[in-house]
Structure 1
Amino acid sequence: MEWREEGIVLGVRRQGETSVVAEVMTRGRGRHLGLVRGGRSRRLQPVLQPGNTVDATWRARLDEHLGFMSVEPVTLRAARLMESAVGLYGIQLLAAHLRLLPERDAHPRLFDTLALIVEHLDDPVAAGVLILRFEIALLEELGFGLDLESCAATGGRDDLVYVSPRSGRAVSREAGEPWRDKLLPLPSFLVGGEAVGAAEVAEGFRMTGFFLARHVWEPRALREPDARRGTLGIIARGSAAG
């Protein structure tokens, strides 16, 4: 078995004295692991840093084996990401999110979003919006997609300002008014609005965090990743400053 594809490095773990097991996210092969011989060498250590894009070739006798992976650099952005707090926390958060998915399952939409995010992880305002949209896409890929297109009560598409915590569907201002204290805020920029402020970004993460906890973390006996709390704190400060 053999394949070759570009991938974004999510992490590595030490294997023996000189090798590592590399974890990369690819568009066609999903999140994939492979043993990189000499991965701890001076040549490969800078390449195998989270956030870098590599040209990966994977080989194994059988598809279910761990296999061997060789990598060549394509875009080395890890040093730039590590210079910013949001970059450092953000790539850890994205990796934690992707580990919720089965290994080797292709999720091209998430890969494309990840590829876009890693180019903006040094900008807290842009990163906040992109990571929020990534979490919405992640919920959909996991089978718990939100319906933010029309009002759950009326079917209308105007003035959507709430999300039902029970159904994950949008609710209009008028229909939701009697239950506003029990509904989640829906940021306007997710339904066609243009303005993005710190408060709206925070509301968006409150919404996705609620559904991730209910459908993903709690059923798997997981906690919200520490990297998420760190990322959101930095994004909030950056969005407020912007």
Structure 2
Amino acid sequence: MEWTGEALLIGIRRHGETSVIAEAMVAGRGRYAGLIRGGRSPKLAATLQPGNTIQLTWRARLEDHLGTFNVELLQSRAAGLFADRKRLYLAQTVCEHLHLLPERDPHDRLLGMALDLIDHEPDAAALARFELALLDDLGFGLDLETCAATGLTEDLTHVSPKSGRAVSRAAAEPYKDRLLPLPSFLHARGNASPDDLRAAFRLSGHFLDMYVWSQRQLDPPATREKLIELLTEE
């Protein structure tokens, strides 16, 4: 079996003395892993940097086998990322998030969002929306459009930390200390203040921890907390 496709390289781990196992998000195919023989050679070092866009050719005898990758560099981002700490931390965080997706299940919307994040000036609001989209694609999407208590679709200010459903200002008032703030930019147009952004990351982080990190006994991406600090500096 064989296919060729364009992909975002999201991770590399050593395999044996000379090879590596690469993970990539492939357009139309999702997260794929494959063996790259000789992947630890200096010749491939510049190509096999997470965050690069590569052309992959995957081959295997059977569809459920690991298979092997042949790679060709299409777009190198490593130099630009290493020159900008915010962009580097953002790319590392996004790649770690993409590792959470099931293998061989297409998620082209998230792949497109990831590439937009990596290729542009670091955008905290876009990253927060990406984390909410990740929850949605994992099957844990939040309902931020309708009040869980009243059915209203306006003046939504909080989210239930248990159900992930929005709550209107009036309905939230007696329980504010037990609810998570809902920044308006997540469900309506408008600018986001540093406090709004921190609240957004608290919201997405709460549900990523509840549904994903804790359940899989994983730690959050090591760069996420520092990235949030850098992106929400006043």
The TM-score, its normalising length taken from structure 2, stands at 0.93
SS in 1 for 2:25: strand
**Corresponding residue of 2:188:** 192
SS in 2 for 1:148: coil
List gaps (5 residues or longer) in structure 2: none
RMSD of the alignment, in Å? 1.6
Aligned ranges 1:197-236 → 2 under 5 Å: 197-236=193-232
Q: Could you report, residue by residue, the CA deviation over 1:179-221 in whole angstroms, capped at 9, with x for unpaired residues?
A: 1111111111111131122111110000011111111112222
**Corresponding residue of 2:154:** 158
Q: Which stretch of the first structure deviates more once superposed, 214-223 or 133-142?
A: 214-223
Distance apart, 1:92 and its partner CA:
2.0
Task: Flag the 1:221–1:17 CA change in 2: closer, same or farther, 3 A.
Answer: closer
SS in 2 for 1:200: helix
**Identity within the alignment, %:** 50
**Corresponding residue of 1:89:** 89
- Partners of 1:40 and 1:210 lie apart in 2 by 38
User: Does the alignment pair 1:175 with 2:171?
Assistant: yes
SS in 2 for 1:220: coil
Q: Could you report, residue by residue, the CA deviation over 1:152-203 in whole angstroms, capped at 9, with x for unpaired residues?
A: 1222211111111121111111221121111111111111131122111110
Counterpart code for 1:67: G
SS in 1 for 2:148: coil
**Corresponding residue of 1:108:** 108
Q: Could you report, residue by residue, the CA deviation over 1:89-135 in whole angstroms, capped at 9, with x for unpaired residues?
A: 22222222222222222212211111211112xx34x1x12221111
**Corresponding residue of 2:19:** 19
Counterpart code for 2:107: H
Q: Is the 8 A contact 1:150 1:170 kept in 2?
A: yes
Task: Flag the 1:40–1:223 CA change in 2: closer, same or farther, 3 A.
Answer: closer
Distance apart, 1:76 and its partner CA:
1.1
